């Protein structure tokens, strides 16, 4: 390792730490020492500092401790003679810089609270292009993608490319590989984000191009996101820096692309990222660090041509990425799923209340359909003028020796994200309330409705090839054809819903596991039964059954229930045996129907978390979309930190929204009649199901008896209201 590399990184470390010390001193002189410090709507204080040191920075005064810690990390300056080419001093200098950068960014938020726009999409119309640190709602939502593999990693890109065309080329190549692109810093006053906007590329969390901030210090938000993922999903405790860093090296596949001239401040940031196992690849002639050690392979690689940057980065990080080529004129992949087609970009649309748009998947006899046949009956996109609308019916027929009728709704649900994967096409809703918007850019590239059929045929074969042999797609755009398909589809939807809703846990002898989240929460084992959907809300019993048929060695394995040990709490010997083995002995047993007695383990991906409220003899639940206070005294993010990561936490349990109104929901604790509080947004979302379930339990007005934040957010505030409404929980047997 050259003396020049060590000199640049260590000099950079001293420069950054000294600069931020000065900024902190100025802040303490001009503001109160107890001025509140936080990254908005996060439960992890300053996350890099908190995760690595355990220090809780809540005020300006609290910033002194991590800055003193950073100062102590700085190694001796490089000597003119007898230079020791060791990596350790660089890592320490880099880590000192990262800690200082996080303090610097926190100070910016204190001084300029409106500098960042902390939403999924930046507010470009008002000049707010930088989103800053991800809040906990975004972390939970996007973290799931790192769990299930739809986001295999992220590229932290700093600086700017030589021109917008090269910037777009590199970023779109990462998008095609399903990676996130975290952007920070600028080169000679121009940022990569500026170049992408000039090239007409949509930015924001929804397109996986995240504009963190304009300075190199903003890159700390990417490391904060990675460390929060380790705490939220992996159950790593704050202050356990070895586990945090190893977790990131082994599970968060990230790397840095440095575009432009690298000075000492960039050098120390790059050295800091090596602590996480994240290598740096640059397009300039800088000294390299090629021996392996901390990173999987090389640490710093220089002179990477722009047309090789993506492939070389993936190789150096040791990341395995699958790129699926679909024969359509537009780019295709999960990176485009969150892309918006706004009014000024719109060419034409189908559904969305303006016309009817219906989707139906049905099984067919092998002789009835032709594999790969895609037909458009009626007008297609080339027949439309800008601003036109069309009705649309998407009818997918599937034949296969292993295909079952139960799989139809599972494959039907794929339409939503697969159509969204097409660049320039936006899909909302499902069943008979779908909405498809097509952009001008997609039409200019040659997109037609037939391309939807091409995508569905190719991806259903790729993802579900084990259970199907033929896929035929017909797209109707004449109103009479669409109305006829809609009538057929609605009858089918009704039949399916009745069949699923009538299934009970007693009807089957086999449950299914889901261990997708073990990549983040190693001890977590989710048991999915007909009356207990997966915690994340994405998997029900039929989904898992189909998944096992497709991939017998995958995360959804059959569990033979075996002897029933407790029918009220929901405990079976076969489930316990499976959980003990699959959690590697960490969890001996749990109950499916209780949150008080040995509840199921919980991971960070759960849609909701329920908690007991002993003072009200009831329970509450909160969804991850709600950011306010709750009667248990903890917000969703705090709850997830307390009992996530695969732990059994009596008094708390993670669950899906749908599970709230299933028959066995906390049956062992009294069921849904115990529910005394939930956020208004969640309550309204499942109103019809609460009303139906309440009626079945003999309390037809249960919906009206459940409090929400408009009534209060403490037990003391909502008790009088519950008493006035005569909530059943108040008169039930003691909960604890």
Instruction: For residues 347 and 454, state if they share a domain.
Output: yes
End-of-domain residue from the set 317, 351, 375? 317
End-of-domain residue from the set 483, 515, 539? 483
- Other CB atoms within a 10 A radius of the CB of residue 72 amount to 9
Instruction: For residues 409 and 269, state if they share a domain.
Output: no
- As a whole number of Å, the CA-based R_g of the chain is 27
pLDDT of amino acid 1 = 47
Tell me the mean pLDDT in the region 221-230: 93
Instruction: For residues 289 and 379, state if they share a domain.
Output: no
Share of the chain above pLDDT 70, in %: 97
The range of the structural domain enclosing residue 366 comes to 340-483
| Residue carrying structure tokens 């090296």 | 249
Share of the chain above pLDDT 90, in %: 68
Instruction: For residues 145 and 209, state if they share a domain.
Output: yes
Whether residue 261 lies inside any domain: the answer is yes
Whether residue 492 lies inside any domain: the answer is no
| Residue carrying structure tokens 């995240």 | 210
Instruction: For residues 285 and 359, state if they share a domain.
Output: no
Q: How far, CA to CA in Å, does 357 sit from each of 69, 414, 426, 446, 715?
A: 59, 16, 13, 22, 46
Report how far residue 730's alpha carbon sits from residue 728's, in angstroms, rounded to the nearest whole number.
5
Q: How far, CA to CA in Å, does 42 sit from each of 55, 115, 135, 232, 234?
A: 15, 17, 5, 11, 17
Instruction: For residues 297 and 371, state if they share a domain.
Output: no
Instruction: For residues 529 and 463, state if they share a domain.
Output: no
Q: Quick one: CA torsion of 194, 198, 201, 206, rounded to 10 degrees? A: 40
Whether residue 75 lies inside any domain: the answer is yes
* Confidence band, pLDDT 50/70/90 cuts, at residue 27: very high
pLDDT of amino acid 498 = 74
For 583-612, the pLDDT digits (tens) are 989 999 999 999 999 999 988 778 899 999
For 663-722, the pLDDT digits (tens) are 999 999 999 999 999 999 999 999 999 999 999 999 999 999 999 999 999 999 999 999
For 386-445, the pLDDT digits (tens) are 999 999 999 999 999 888 888 898 899 889 889 999 999 999 888 888 999 999 999 999
Which strand (E) or helix (H) includes residue 358?
strand 357-363
Q: How many domains does the chain have?
A: 3
Instruction: For residues 49 and 159, state if they share a domain.
Output: yes
Whether residue 596 lies inside any domain: the answer is yes
For 242-258, the pLDDT digits (tens) are 999 998 898 888 999 99
Report how far residue 26's alpha carbon sits from residue 19's, in angstroms, rounded to the nearest whole number.
11
Whether residue 333 lies inside any domain: the answer is no
For 609-639, the pLDDT digits (tens) are 999 999 999 999 999 889 899 999 999 988 8
Whether residue 332 lies inside any domain: the answer is no
CATH code of the domain covering residue 689: 3.40.1470.10
Instruction: For residues 29 and 171, state if they share a domain.
Output: yes
Instruction: For residues 285 and 348, state if they share a domain.
Output: no
End-of-domain residue from the set 317, 348, 370? 317
Whether residue 500 lies inside any domain: the answer is no
Flag whether pLDDT at 80 surpasses 60.
no
* Confidence band, pLDDT 50/70/90 cuts, at residue 462: confident
For 121-178, the pLDDT digits (tens) are 999 999 999 999 999 889 888 877 876 677 889 999 999 999 999 999 999 999 888 8
For 511-535, the pLDDT digits (tens) are 999 887 776 677 889 999 999 998 8
Predicted model pTM: 0.74
CATH code of the domain covering residue 195: 3.40.50.2030
Whether residue 496 lies inside any domain: the answer is no
Instruction: For residues 140 and 271, state if they share a domain.
Output: yes
* Residue 3 structure tokens: 């003396």
Instruction: For residues 312 and 345, state if they share a domain.
Output: no
pLDDT of amino acid 322 = 59
- Other CB atoms within a 10 A radius of the CB of residue 1 amount to 18
């Amino acid at each position: 390792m050259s003396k020049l590399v060590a000199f640049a990184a260590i000099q950079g470390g001293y420069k950054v730490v000294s600069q931020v010390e000065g900024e902190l001193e100025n802040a303490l002189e001009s503001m109160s020492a107890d001025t509140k410090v936080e990254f908005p709507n996060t439960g992890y204080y300053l996350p890099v500092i908190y995760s690595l040191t355990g220090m809780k920075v809540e005020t300006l005064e609290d910033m002194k401790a991590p800055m003193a810690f950073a100062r102590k990390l700085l190694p001796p300056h490089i000597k003119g003679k007898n230079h020791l080419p060791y990596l350790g001093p660089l890592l320490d200098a880099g880590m000192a810089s990262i800690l200082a950068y996080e303090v610097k960014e926190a100070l910016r938020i204190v001084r300029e609270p409106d500098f960042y726009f902390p939403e999924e999409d930046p507010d470009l119309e008002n000049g707010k292009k930088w989103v800053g640190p991800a809040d906990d709602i975004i972390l939970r939502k996007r973290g799931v993608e790192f769990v299930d593999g739809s986001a295999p990693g992220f590229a932290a890109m700093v600086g700017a490319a030589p021109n917008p065309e090269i910037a777009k080329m590199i970023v779109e190549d990462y998008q095609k590989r399903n990676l996130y692109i975290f952007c920070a810093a600028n080169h000679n006053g121009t940022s990569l984000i500026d170049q992408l906007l000039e090239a007409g590329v949509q930015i924001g969390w929804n397109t996986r191009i995240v504009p963190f901030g304009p300075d190199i210090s903003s890159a700390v938000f990417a490391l904060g996101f990675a460390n929060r993922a380790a705490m939220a999903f992996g159950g790593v405790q704050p202050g356990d820096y070895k586990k945090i860093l190893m977790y990131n090296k082994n599970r968060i596949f990230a790397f840095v692309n440095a575009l432009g001239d690298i000075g000492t401040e960039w050098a120390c940031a790059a050295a800091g990222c090596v602590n996480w196992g994240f290598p740096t690849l640059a397009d300039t002639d800088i000294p390299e660090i090629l021996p392996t050690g901390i990173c999987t392979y090389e640490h710093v690689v220089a002179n990477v041509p722009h047309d090789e940057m993506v492939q070389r980065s993936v190789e150096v990080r040791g990341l395995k990425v699958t790129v699926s080529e679909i024969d359509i004129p537009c780019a295709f992949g999960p990176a485009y799923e969150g892309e918006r087609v706004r009014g000024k970009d719109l060419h034409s649309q189908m559904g969305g209340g303006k016309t009817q748009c219906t989707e139906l998947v049905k099984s067919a006899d092998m002789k009835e359909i032709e594999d790969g046949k895609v037909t458009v009956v009626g007008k297609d996109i080339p027949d439309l003028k800008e601003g036109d609308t069309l009705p649309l019916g998407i009818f997918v027929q599937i034949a296969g020796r292993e295909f079952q009728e139960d799989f139809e709704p599972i494959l039907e649900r794929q339409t939503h994200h697969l159509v969204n994967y097409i660049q320039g096409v936006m899909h909302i809703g499902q069943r008979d309330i779908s909405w498809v918007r097509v952009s001008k850019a997609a039409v200019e590239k040659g997109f037609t409705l037939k391309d939807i059929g091409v995508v569905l045929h190719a991806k259903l074969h790729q993802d579900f090839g084990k259970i199907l042999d033929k896929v035929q797609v017909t797209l109707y755009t004449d109103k009479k054809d669409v109305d006829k398909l809609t009538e057929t589809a609605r009858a089918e939807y009704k039949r399916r819903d009745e069949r699923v809703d009538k299934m009970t846990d007693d009807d089957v002898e086999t449950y299914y596991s889901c261990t997708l989240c073990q990549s983040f929460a190693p001890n977590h084992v989710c048991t999915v039964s007909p009356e207990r959907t997966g915690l994340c809300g994405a998997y029900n019993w039929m989904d898992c059954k189909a998944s096992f048929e497709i991939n017998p060695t995958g995360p959804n394995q059959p569990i033979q229930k075996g002897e029933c040990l407790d029918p009220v709490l929901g405990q079976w010997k076969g489930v316990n045996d499976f959980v003990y083995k699959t959690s590697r002995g960490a969890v001996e047993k749990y109950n499916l129907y209780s949150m008080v007695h040995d509840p199921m383990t919980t991971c960070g991906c759960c849609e909701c978390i329920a908690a007991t409220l002993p003072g009200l003899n009831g329970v509450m639940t909160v969804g991850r979309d709600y950011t306010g206070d709750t009667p248990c005294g903890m917000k969703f993010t705090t709850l997830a930190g307390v009992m996530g990561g695969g732990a059994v936490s009596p008094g708390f349990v993670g669950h899906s929204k749908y599970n709230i109104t299933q028959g066995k929901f906390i049956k062992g604790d009294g069921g849904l009649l115990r529910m005394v509080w939930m956020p208004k947004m969640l309550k309204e979302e499942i109103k019809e199901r609460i009303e139906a379930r309440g009626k079945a339990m003999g309390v037809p007005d249960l919906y009206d008896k459940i409090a929400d934040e408009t009534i209060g957010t403490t037990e003391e505030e909502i008790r009088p209201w519950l008493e006035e409404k005569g909530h059943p929980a108040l008169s039930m047997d003691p909960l604890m």
